Amino acid sequence: MQLEQLIKDRRSITNYDTSKEISYKEIQELLDIAVWVPNHKMTQPWRFILIDGETKQKLGEINAKQGAKGAATAEEKEKKAEALKKKITDVPLWIAVVLEENTQMKFREEDYASASMLIQNFSLLAWEKGIGTIWKTNTLLENTDARELLQIRPGERNIGLLQVGFIGKQPKVKPRVPASERTTVLN
């Protein structure tokens, strides 16, 4: 697939074909390619945590416990907790993208930008293989129990949880504003 078409075709996927199993080896190969991004001073501060099986179940329980706190009744709490757990457990595979936070803000921001490009690279590479992704940022990123479960150390930041699975139903294309409409030429 041509890069231009790949960029235009890629969508954030939340509906998966669960009849196909994700291969950790294939995911690792895609991550090994995705790291080829510009990274000032070659800090390469990232690491990846593949979340599946029992760990995914436990993460779902943490999400349920955390999110169901505000329910008015015990019945609502139970229903909300189950839905929040399923939001985690129904995803074929999760990847936590963790950065070692540099003490200097300049490098910290550059590292985050590089990691964002890495996530885009991974998403495009995965799409080419029929694997969909979506980058999630939510309260689980800073939840103490989730950090402990995922072995995220002090001085590290979980910048995102990537949902990963073979593409089921694709969402419709949402139009983009052409960059030409937001470009100023100063000559």
**127 annotated to a ligand binding site:** no
What is the number of H-type helices and E-type strands within the chain? 6, 4
DSSP strands (E only) in 56-178: 93-100, 131-136, 156-166
What length is written for the chain?
Answer: 187
End-to-end CA distance of the chain: 37
**157 annotated to a ligand binding site:** no
Give the CB-side neighbour count of residue 180, counting CA atoms within 13 A: 1
**40 annotated to a ligand binding site:** yes
**10 annotated to a ligand binding site:** yes
Question: Please, where are the H alpha helices in 10-104?
Answer: 24-34, 53-67, 74-89
DSSP SS3 for 93:
strand
**11 annotated to a ligand binding site:** yes
**94 annotated to a ligand binding site:** no
Does an H or E element contain 49, and which?
A: strand 46-51
Binding residues: 10-12, 40, 135-137
Binding residues for FMN: 10-12, 40, 135-137
